[in-house]
Amino acid sequence: MPEESGTPRHVAIIMDGNGRWATNKGWPRLVGHRKGAERVKAIVRASSDLGIRYLTVYAFSTENWKRSTEEVLGLMKLFARYIQREAEALSKENVRMCFIGDRTRLDPKLQELMAWIETRTANNTRLTFTIAINYGGRDELVRAARGLAERVAAGDLQPEDIDEATLDGALDTAHVPAPDLVIRTSGETRVSNFLLWQAAYAEYEFSPVLWPDFTPEVLAEILSRFSGRDRRYGGVKK
């Protein structure tokens, strides 16, 4: 179980507001996404300095395919460029990079880049940085249930042996602990199919700041508020 107070070990962020940020300035939405990618770099570098051990960001949901072809293709190119440009810096800064989500719909070259940087940074220990691409909490649960059903059908697992820990281990996030804190930027107050199982006891913070304007200072303020919360996990106030 996560720590009750102090700095959260695992922070998850729904990075919302890139498109609005650009539109407000009269620029194309992709400009906002590029600015958002720069913000990711700043937050990754600040996170370990603030005591965070695990950082997970929601970059592209299973529902985001509904956006224009131009925006989707632009985002995919942006993901690939980010991996290529940040590989050396992440290695030097001892940051491990991982991905969650269904990769099968992604371009094979992007899948190769994702696997390459995961391997390259696998032994890094300062911060585990996870990016959710083509990720949806419901889709993840369906894929996990299907995988467990296949194990049962193969005789490798008995139905009565399936418990919370078994399901947890079948999820994309088996490599990280449950998030202590989930942040959503841009003022929206919904979870948008993000870490539905994992965030059962997470604290939530809904920030009005658009993601391109979300600075390490804003993150530090949120962490300060988190440290004062009483996390009871269904128990009574101490």
Taking the C-alpha atoms of residue 136 and residue 202, their distance in angstroms, rounded to an integer, is: 18
Residue 143: helix, strand or coil by DSSP? helix
Judge whether 16 counts as a catalytic residue. yes
Of 16, 18, 134, 180, catalytic: 16
Judge whether 24 counts as a catalytic residue. no
Of 18, 49, 64, 102, catalytic: 64
Burial of 16 (0-12, 13-18, 19+ CB in 10 A): buried
Could you identify the residue written with the tokens 């107050």? 189
How does DSSP assign 72-101, residue by residue? HHHHHHHHHHHHHHHHHHHHHTTEEEEEES
For 34-49, b/e burial (b = at least 16 CB within 10 A) is bbbbebbeebbebbbe
Could you identify the residue written with the tokens 């083509």? 134
Catalytic residues: 16, 64
